[in-house]
Amino acid sequence: MKTIEIEDSLALTVCMKQAVAFERGLGARVWDEQGRAWLDFTAGWGVTSLGHSHPAIVAAITEQAGKLMQNPNSGFTYSPVRAKLLQQLQPLLPAGLHRVFFANSGAEANDAAVKLARKVTGRERVLAANSSFHGRTLATLSLSGGPENGARFSPQVPGNDFVPYGDIAALRRAIGDDVAAVILEPVQGEGGVRVAPPGYLQSVAQLCHRHGALFIADEVQTGFCRTGSFFAVDDADVQPDILTMGKGIAGGFPFAAFAVSDAVAAGVAKGDHGGTYCGNPLGCAVASAVVAFLVDNEIAARVAQLGLRALADLHLLAQRYPELVREVRGKGLLIGLQLHNDAQVTALASLCLDRRLLVTPTRNAVLRLIPSLLLEQQEWEEGLAILADALRALSAATQHAGRAA
């Protein structure tokens, strides 16, 4: 047993669970080594967009692995499945983004995007947002605003400054003709599921254009239908200069990409970027299968509809437990419950774990829900009932602790 201190100086005792070993999954569920089923509302940090072990992904891996996994002279040679994926992505990307580079992870895509932005513009300074998160390489940690990110690793990569997220006036004061790029998430994930205010992204793009800076949209978490549109910038009617992709792009297979405008591509020379595994045929085959499934089954519209229902249900739940839930926010199936402090989040996540519901504790006292995009209505209702019971238990325990004090 472990005692967690909460803000009002009371103590809440919860049982901190041992690590759970999962050996298989299907759809929105996973099974541990004891054969117990768990409902997964984490999707592996938003990665398993089609759920676990989706037949389309399994088939793509099996078929391509039997043909070719890695090109000879990778980067200098192409494969048919790579060309197919490029053709699939082109009509889905925001207008003007005609050149695609492949990567192995979202962090690598963001790292490359900023590297090339500095090279193309000839400038060094980059602006990012407070509470942002762009990856765990040294460069992307240095671009992730907050002491819990890059401050532990020194020296940080220089040339980065931060502004409050959603504050266009602050960005207007900070930007200048020395800025290479502004990098932002359309919805901050690790920062606490903070959705960009209406008109904000458009204003950012306009400011960047005015000062000759590049606008980098980090869609590693929000892309591929997660927010109810194929890319989150689609709803904002914004055309970034660079858009980074990852996580759901290949439904669980390590794969990522970034797309750039023609103007940016014109400044990229041979040898400026590459990687041994970038765009390998196996990864391209999986991503191709995922993209085809998302498009053919109109998953973006499905996510938008279920997301609205989920937010409405959670708002009702928040009204029942105002002492625990301060706010519910999100878009599509990227949803956050803002609690009053981190201790409440830890306790609530533990209570959900007791009931075999997997959720994601997030910084800034937020509990994040990132389920499979194919989550069924019945599965949502099941998870909601578990979350409600966990909140009831936490509320009762908090009240008991208060009376005991």
Q: Which residues are catalytic?
A: 133, 218, 247
DSSP labels for 328-372? EEEETTEEEEEESSHHHHHHHHHHHHHTTEE-EEETTTEEEE---
CA dihedral 57, 60, 64, 70 (to 10 degrees): -40
Residue from 237, 233, 236, 235 nearest 245 by CA: 233
Rg value, the chain, Cα? 22
Give how far Cα 102 sits from Cα of 89, 95, 270, 284, 351, Å. 12, 19, 15, 9, 40
The answer to whether 162 and 182 have CB atoms below 8 angstroms apart is no
| Alpha-carbon separation of residue 319 from 305, 327, 342 (angstroms) | 22, 9, 20
- Phi and psi angles of residue 253, each rounded to the nearest 5 degrees, phi first: -85, 135
Taking Cα atoms as reference points, which of 273, 236, 277, 235 lies closest to residue 256? Answer: 277
CA nearest 359: which of 343, 376, 347?
347
Q: In sequence order, what are the beta bridge partners of 362?
A: 366
Q: Compute the distance between CA of residue 22 and CA of residue 186 in angstroms, rounded to an integer.
A: 32
Q: Could you give the 3-state DSSP secondary structure of residue 98? A: strand
Q: How far apart are alpha carbons 81 and 288 in whole angstroms?
A: 8
- How many other CB atoms are there within 10 angstroms of residue 361's CB atom? 17
What are the DSSP calls for 210-254, one per residue?
HHT-EEEEE-TTTTTTTTSSSSHHHHHT---SEEEE-GGGGBTBS
Q: What is the DSSP secondary structure assignment for residue 5, as one 8-state letter?
A: E
